[in-house]
Structure 1
Amino acid sequence: MRVWQGARQKKKSILGGVRLVLIGFIGKVILTIFGISLLIFVHELGHFVVAKILNMKVYEFVLGYGSKLFSFKIGETVYGITKIPFGGYVKLEDIKPEEISFEEDRLPVLGKQSLWKRVLVIVGGPLMNLILPIFLLAVIFMAGIPYPTTIIEEVMLYSPAVEAGLKAGDEIVCIECSEIKDWGEATKIIRENPNKTLDFVVIRDNKKINLTATIAEKDNHGFLGIGVKLGTKKYGVLSAFYEGLKATVGIVVILFKLLVSFIQGKQMTGFTGEIIGPVGLAKETFASIQRGIIDYLGVLAQMSIGMGIANLIPVPPLDGGKLVLMGYELVVRKPLKVKTMLIIQAIGIALLLFLMISVTFSDIFGIFALGGR
C-alpha cells in the first residue's frame, strides 16, 4: 500500500513539474510573439501618428491581420483588433482603383497629398522604430547596468598577478602613479605594457599596499591574469534617457556601416555577427526571455533599431523604396507610370522574398547545426 502511494505521489510530482515547464514554455512563446508584434505595431503607429498630425485621411488603424474581432469608428478612421493580433497595419488616403488607367496614368506614392507630407508619413514608421529603443534602453539603465569594478575577484594560477602578490579582494587604486577610477583605465595600461614592470597600489584590509608586477605578453598585448568583480550602476531618469539615446545612436551607426558593407559585399571590420531572418529573430527573442526581462528589453531594442534601418533599404515596397520613388517624382516633377511602378514593385518583392527565404533557411540550418553539437 505504501509503495503504491509513493508511486502515485511521484507520478503527481512529475506531472506537476511537466505542467510548470509547459506553462513556462507557453509564456515564453507568448512573450516572443508579443515582442515581435510590438515592433511591427509601433512601426505602423509611426505612419499613423504622422498622418494624423498632418491632417491626412486615415481610413483604418488595426492591430493584427485577418478578419476583425471588433472595431469602432472615430471620424473617418476605423480602429480595430483582429483575431490574429500579430503586428498591424494602417490604411491611408490613396487613389481609388477605379481612378487608375494602367496604360496612361501616373501613380504617386500615397495618393494625391503634397510630396513633403507623403515623405514625412513614410519616414514616421522607421522613426518610431528608432524612438522605441530609447525608452526600452532607458528602463535598462534605470534598472542597473553591470560593470567591471577594480576589485579583484580571482587570480589565475602561475600568472604575473600571483608572482606580484595580488590577491582576491584587493582593490586596484593606482598603476604607475596614475589614479585608477575604473577597470577600463587599468585594462588600457596593462594591455599597452607587455613585458614591462609596473608599480601597483592596492587597498587590502583598509590599508594601501605597494606591489610590483611584471606584465606578461599574450596575443601581442599585456596580460596580468586577474578577474574582477562586477558592480551595478543605476541611472536617474534623465541620465538613463540620455544614455538610451547615446546607445541607440551608436547601434544605428554600426548598422548603417554593416548595411553599406553588406551592399558592397564586404565583411565589416570588427563585426562577427550575421544577418538573421524571422526564425532567427524569434530564436533570439525566446533566448533573451530565458535570460531575464532586462535581456528581453535589450534584444527588443536592438531588433526595433534593425527594423527601422532595414525599412529604409531603397527597395520597393519597403519605406526606403517608396522614398526613392518620391525622389524620382521630385526630380522629374511627375510620378512614375502605373505599369512601370508595378514592375518595379514586383522586382522589389521578388528580391525581398529571395533574401527572406535565403536568410530563413540559414536560420533553420543554424538551429539544427547548433542542436547537433
Structure 2
Amino acid sequence: MSSYLLGVILFALGIAVTIALHEAGHMLVARAFGMRVRRYFIGFGPRVASFTRGHTEYGVAAVPFGGFCEIAGMTPNDELTAEEAPHAMVNKPWWQRVAVLSGGVAVNLLLGFCILYGVAVSSGIPNPYADHTATVGEVTCTADQDPATGELEQCSGVGAAGRAGIEVGDRILAVDGRRVENFQRLAAEVAERPGETVELTVERDGQRLEVPVTVDEVTRYSADGQARSAGSVGLVSRPVTDAVRKFGPVEAVPATFALTGQALQATVEGVLQLPAKIPGVVASIFGAERDDESPMSVVGASRIGGELVEHSLWTSFLMLLASLNFFLALFNLVPLPPLDGGHILVVLYEKARDLLRRLRGLPAGEPVNYEKLLPVTYVMAALLMGFGGLVLIADVVNPVRLFG
C-alpha cells in the first residue's frame, strides 16, 4: 500500500471516528440525565448491520458520511410510548436539553484540544505566543513574475515602500486603518490595490507613523498561465522567531488553550466566509483555478491527508484533524435547523418566552411545534446537501493539492 493511500484511509477513518464520537457525546449526556436513547448509528440510509443492547439499537448504515443519535422525545411532535414518556427529552428541564444538544460539540472541542496537546508535547505546535506582526526584514524592488519559472524577474532599486520611507525593522500594523495580523495578510491587502495609494500604519522605535504608499502595479500568473495585474510594494518579511515550539506536559496546557482559541477564531471567520466561496467552488468545477482555501468535502480532506502522509508530515496531518473537529463543533452551533444550534435556539426561545409569561402572571406556553419549522428545516437541509454536493464534485474533478 502506498503512503498516499494509507494517508487517505487514515484520515477518512479519523473523520469517521470524529463523527462517531460526536454522536456518542449526545448519547452519553442524554443517558446521564435519564433520557431514552433509541438508536445510535454511524452513517445514513439503509441499515448494514446492527444489534440491540438495553433500549438502544447500535448500527452502521450504508452511507458513511455522517451519523445520528435518536433520543425519545427530541421534539414534542415525536410519538412516545407510555413507557418512554418519563424518559423523553422534551419532558426534561431546559438546561438538560441544551446540555444534550451541546454534547457533540463539546466532544469535538475536546478532541481538537487533545490532538493539539499531543502534538504540543511530542513534536511542537505553532507557538501561540510568537509575534507574527508584519515586520520588515528587507526593502526591495518590485518585479513582474516570470511566466515560465514562476519566479520574480530581476529588478533594481527600491519599490513603492522604499520610496515612501519604509525601513528595515518597521512593524506594519494596518492598511488604511484595517489591522493586518501578519505579513501574509499585508501582502494580500496590497495585491488587491495596484496603482492605488494606501496608508500604512507603521510602528518604529515605539512610535506610530502613518505612511502613504502608492502601490506598484506588477504582473502575476495563475496556475493555468493567465496573466493578471497585482499590487506590490517591495518588502520582504523578517522571519518569525520561535514560530513552532515544543512544550512540556504542564506548560503545554495553557499553550494549547491559547492555540485552540486562535484556531476557533479562525474557524468562525472561515464559517462566515463559506457563502462567499460558493461561486469559486462552482467555477473550479468548470476548470477555473481552485483556491487553496476552498472548502473541502470528506473526499478532499482525505486526499490532503494522503498528501501529508506521503510527505511524512504527520504533525500537519494531526493539525488538520484537529481543525476538522473545531469546524464541526462551530458549524453545528449555527442557529438554524437541522443543526444542533437550531435545536438549542428553540429551547432557549421557549425558556425566554416562559420567563416573560411568568413575569406577566401567565402559565408556561406550549412547546414549539416543530412541524411549523419543517419548511425552514427542508430548505436548510437542501442547501447543505447542495453545497456538499458541489464541494464533493469539485474535490473529484479539480481537487485542492498541496504539492503540485
Shorter-normalised TM-score: what interval? 0.5 to 0.7
With normalisation by structure 2, the TM-score equals 0.57
Residue 349 of structure 2, aligned match among 328, 341, 356: 328
Partner Cα separation in structure 2 for residue 231 and residue 315 of structure 1: 38
- Structure 1 residues 215-226: aligned runs within 5 Å: 220=233, 223=236
Residue 309 of structure 1, aligned match among 324, 327, 330: 330
Letter in 1 for 2:119: I
Residue 35 of structure 2, aligned match among 56, 61, 66: 56
Letter in 2 for 1:235: F
Residue 43 of structure 1, aligned match among 18, 22, 29: 22
Residue 297 of structure 2, aligned match among 252, 259, 277: 277
Letter in 1 for 2:394: S
1:115 aligns with 2:94: yes
Higher helix proportion: 1
Contact in 1 for aligned 2:12/2:298 (Cα 8 Å):
no
Task: Give 1:196 deviation, angstroms.
Answer: 8.8
Task: Give 1:299 deviation, angstroms.
Answer: 0.7
Contact in 2 for aligned 1:60/1:90 (Cα 8 Å):
yes
Cα gap change, 1:58 to 1:370, in 2 (>3 Å): closer
Task: Give 1:30 deviation, angstroms.
Answer: 2.4
- Structure 1 residues 1-373: aligned runs within 5 Å: 20-21=1-2, 24=3, 26-63=5-42, 67=47, 69=49, 71=51, 73=53, 75-79=54-58, 88-94=67-73, 98=79, 110-145=89-124, 188=135, 190=137, 220=233, 223=236, 233-262=245-274, 273-291=293-311, 292-332=313-353, 333-367=365-399
Cα gap change, 1:236 to 1:277, in 2 (>3 Å): same
Letter in 2 for 1:38: V
- The count of corresponding residues between Structure 1 and Structure 2 is 285
Task: Give 1:191 deviation, angstroms.
Answer: 5.7
- Stretches of structure 2 that go unaligned for 5 or more consecutive residues are 82-87, 140-160, 170-215, 217-231, 279-290, 354-364
Contact in 2 for aligned 1:288/1:299 (Cα 8 Å):
no
Letter in 2 for 1:360: L
Partner Cα separation in structure 2 for residue 91 and residue 47 of structure 1: 9
Contact in 2 for aligned 1:64/1:82 (Cα 8 Å):
yes
| 1:285-307 deviations in Å (ceiling 9; x for gaps) | 32233233222111100111111
Letter in 1 for 2:110: I
Contact in 2 for aligned 1:146/1:230 (Cα 8 Å):
no
Letter in 1 for 2:307: A
Partner Cα separation in structure 2 for residue 360 and residue 261 of structure 1: 18
Cα gap change, 1:265 to 1:241, in 2 (>3 Å): same
Contact in 2 for aligned 1:129/1:305 (Cα 8 Å):
yes
- Partner SS state of residue 367, structure 2: coil
Partner Cα separation in structure 1 for residue 233 and residue 37 of structure 2: 61
Contact in 1 for aligned 2:120/2:252 (Cα 8 Å):
yes
Percent identity between the aligned chains?
A: 22
Letter in 2 for 1:138: Y
- Stretches of structure 1 that go unaligned for 5 or more consecutive residues are 1-19, 101-108, 149-181, 200-217
Task: Give 1:328 deviation, angstroms.
Answer: 3.2
Contact in 1 for aligned 2:113/2:257 (Cα 8 Å):
yes
Let me know the Cα RMSD of the aligned residues: 4.3
Task: Give 1:136 deviation, angstroms.
Answer: 0.5
Partner Cα separation in structure 1 for residue 90 and residue 263 of structure 2: 34
Task: Give 1:248 deviation, angstroms.
Answer: 1.4
Task: Give 1:363 deviation, angstroms.
Answer: 3.1
Task: Give 1:87 deviation, angstroms.
Answer: 5.3
- Partner SS state of residue 119, structure 1: helix
Letter in 2 for 1:295: S
Partner Cα separation in structure 1 for residue 94 and residue 30 of structure 2: 13
Cα gap change, 1:97 to 1:232, in 2 (>3 Å): closer
Partner Cα separation in structure 2 for residue 337 and residue 228 of structure 1: 55
Partner Cα separation in structure 2 for residue 183 and residue 283 of structure 1: 32
Partner Cα separation in structure 2 for residue 310 and residue 119 of structure 1: 16
Q: Which moved more, 1:275-284 or 1:113-122?
A: 275-284
In structure 2, the partner of 1:157 is none
Letter in 1 for 2:264: V
Cα gap change, 1:293 to 1:339, in 2 (>3 Å): same
Cα gap change, 1:84 to 1:349, in 2 (>3 Å): closer
Q: Which moved more, 1:296-305 or 1:345-354?
A: 345-354
Cα gap change, 1:30 to 1:264, in 2 (>3 Å): closer
Partner Cα separation in structure 1 for residue 393 and residue 294 of structure 2: 13
Q: Based on CA coordinates, which of the two structures has the bigger radius of gyration?
A: 1
| 1:95-115 deviations in Å (ceiling 9; x for gaps) | 685559xxxxxxxx9533222
Task: Give 1:322 deviation, angstroms.
Answer: 1.3
